[in-house]
Amino acid sequence: MEKNLNEIRRVAYITNNEIALDLTLGKPYNINKLENIILKTEYVILGKGVIKKDILKSLSFDKSLLKLINNFIFIRCNDDLVELEKSIQEEARSIEQEKASEEEWKNTLKEKIATLSLSKEEKEKIFELILNCSTNKKEMEDSYQEVYNMINHAQRTRELFNLKPGIKLNKNDFPQKNIKGEE
């Protein structure tokens, strides 16, 4: 971390990038409180503010240091600390919601598959096929074909695939006349 900071300062000085130099020289407001706020997050203290660790690691030390300037969060006063804390909480909340929605659609898919009159192995295979299929219609054609061959009902097959986020099939995507039956 210290090595990155020194490298950033060196490049900023050599290229006469006053903005990047200003960001990295000095300390942020209320550093103790800031350390507590970012303790279990992906942020690190850098000069007068914070930046995400992955952005810091991915910085290419080119002449502009534009990525640093665009992603740097100044911490100059208590209001900045409060805003950072809110954004960290919002970020955590959105990650939780994504996880919850992922689990929700999987549970809905399992429930929908459970209503089918198929063997347990076939139900598990259908779940795995839909779970692992691509959201690209051309790439999912084989999975769709396999599920259709087990269910033998185009509308139910579409309904199952449409439960997966990113997939929106209609009756014209895989017309029944183009679907090959089991050989």
The reported pLDDT for the residue numbered 152 is: 87
Residue-range definition of the domain harbouring residue 56: 2-92
Question: For 106, how many CA atoms within 13 A lie in the half-sphere containing its CB?
Answer: 11
- Rounded distance, CA 38 to CA 67, Å? 21
The reported pLDDT for the residue numbered 136 is: 86
Number of domains within the chain? 2
Vertex 9: Cα angle to 7 and 14 (nearest 5)? 95
pLDDT (average), residues 168-173: 85
The span from the first CA to the last CA of the chain, in angstroms, equals: 61
The reported pLDDT for the residue numbered 183 is: 45
Encode pLDDT of 83-130 as tens digits. 999 999 998 888 888 887 888 888 998 999 998 888 999 999 999 999
81 and 127 both lie in a single domain: no
88 and 26 both lie in a single domain: yes
22 and 83 both lie in a single domain: yes
The reported pLDDT for the residue numbered 56 is: 78
pTM value is 0.55
Q: Is residue 144 assigned to a domain? A: yes
Q: Is residue 42 assigned to a domain? A: yes
18 and 70 both lie in a single domain: yes
28 and 73 both lie in a single domain: yes
78 and 142 both lie in a single domain: no
Q: Is residue 167 assigned to a domain? A: yes
Q: Is residue 153 assigned to a domain? A: yes
| Domain's final residue, options 76, 92, 108 | 92
Which residue's entry shows tokens 């990113």? 166
Encode pLDDT of 67-84 as tens digits. 778 888 989 899 999 999
Q: Is residue 152 assigned to a domain? A: yes
The reported pLDDT for the residue numbered 167 is: 87
pLDDT (average), residues 157-179: 83
The reported pLDDT for the residue numbered 124 is: 92
Please give the residue that has the higher pLDDT: either 174 or 117. Answer: 117
- Can you list the pairs that 14-23 forms with residues at least 24 positions away whose Cβ atoms lie under 8 Å? 15/63, 15/64, 15/65, 17/63, 17/64, 17/65, 19/69, 20/65, 20/68, 20/69, 22/48, 23/47, 23/48, 23/49, 23/68, 23/69, 23/72, 23/74
Q: Is residue 100 assigned to a domain? A: no
| Domain's final residue, options 60, 92, 124 | 92
Encode pLDDT of 131-162 as tens digits. 899 888 888 888 999 999 998 888 899 999 99
120 and 87 both lie in a single domain: no
The reported pLDDT for the residue numbered 62 is: 59
| Domain's final residue, options 77, 92, 107 | 92
Encode pLDDT of 26-63 as tens digits. 888 888 898 888 888 888 888 888 988 888 777 766 55
pLDDT (average), residues 5-13: 80
- Rounded distance, CA 88 to CA 145, Å? 44
84 and 14 both lie in a single domain: yes
60 and 16 both lie in a single domain: yes
Q: Where are the beta strands (DSSP E) in the chain?
A: 43-46, 49-52, 73-74
Q: Is residue 109 assigned to a domain? A: no
50 and 130 both lie in a single domain: no
Give, as one character, the DSSP assignment of residue 178: G
Q: Is residue 41 assigned to a domain? A: yes
The reported pLDDT for the residue numbered 3 is: 63
CB–CB of 48/25 below 8 Å? Answer: yes
